[in-house]
Structures are given as structure tokens and as C-alpha cells.
Structure 1
């Protein structure tokens, strides 16, 4: 079975649109401690999920790992 993998930026440190603040240390801790065998994060559409195989709101993938790094492009 071929595995497709693509990296996505899911968060950056700093202020959020709803007034909260994401701290750099939180991102570093998440990347260091994420273990998909303990809890596998799944990628869903708009926080809605369905168990039906042909649903528009099916699961689109699994998070296999996290990386915390400095943004280099811009």
C-alpha cells in the first residue's frame, strides 16, 4: 500500500483571531510528545465527521507526526 504524505502548517506562535495566545513552548512540547499509537489525530472537514464511507464529511487522513520549526519562507 502506498502512503501519501504532505506536510501542513497547523499553527504558529502568537495571537489568535479570538484573542488567545499560542506559546512557542506549547508547539515544541506537542511535537516532542505526539505519539500516534497513543492517540491518532484524524483529519476531518470543518470539525464534522461521519462514519459513512461515501459521506462528504469522511475522514481525510491521519496525523503521523508533528514537527516544530522556525518558518523560513516569509
Structure 2
């Protein structure tokens, strides 16, 4: 009986935890807003630090440079002479 109760408790604990969400950085924007709270997350949709700072003002958040930002490269044409 004790094993059955412990097994049910273990299953209930695993079911209550839920799944973890993967955090991704959007490589299209150079600045991310890191919002702190019960659930912390990154919002990478800012083009400058001052723009991000406006959104972070008055919140438990801070702006950071996106470590995965990939600036667009100009497309090179091949010249045929």
C-alpha cells in the first residue's frame, strides 16, 4: 500500500511540474529586453538600446545586446566581363 501511495505521489509531482520552455534569441534584432519575474523571459525585438530602455522603464527588466544578432550582409553580384 505504501508503494502505491508513493508511486501516485511521484506521478502527481511530475504531472504538476509541466514542461520547460526553450528560450530563443531572435537573430534579426540587435537588442533584447530581459524581463524578470515569476517567469523570466527575453524579448528580442529592439533596434537600439534607447528604444529598449523606453520599454524597460518602470519594470523589473534590463536591456542587453543580443549575442546571436546576425546583421544582414549585402548581396554581392558576380560581374561577367
TM bucket by the smaller chain?
under 0.3
Higher strand share: 2
Give the number of the structure whose alpha-carbon radius of gyration is greater.
Answer: 2
TM-score w.r.t. structure 2 length?
0.23
Higher relative CO (CA 8 A, sep ≥ 6), structure 1 or 2?
2
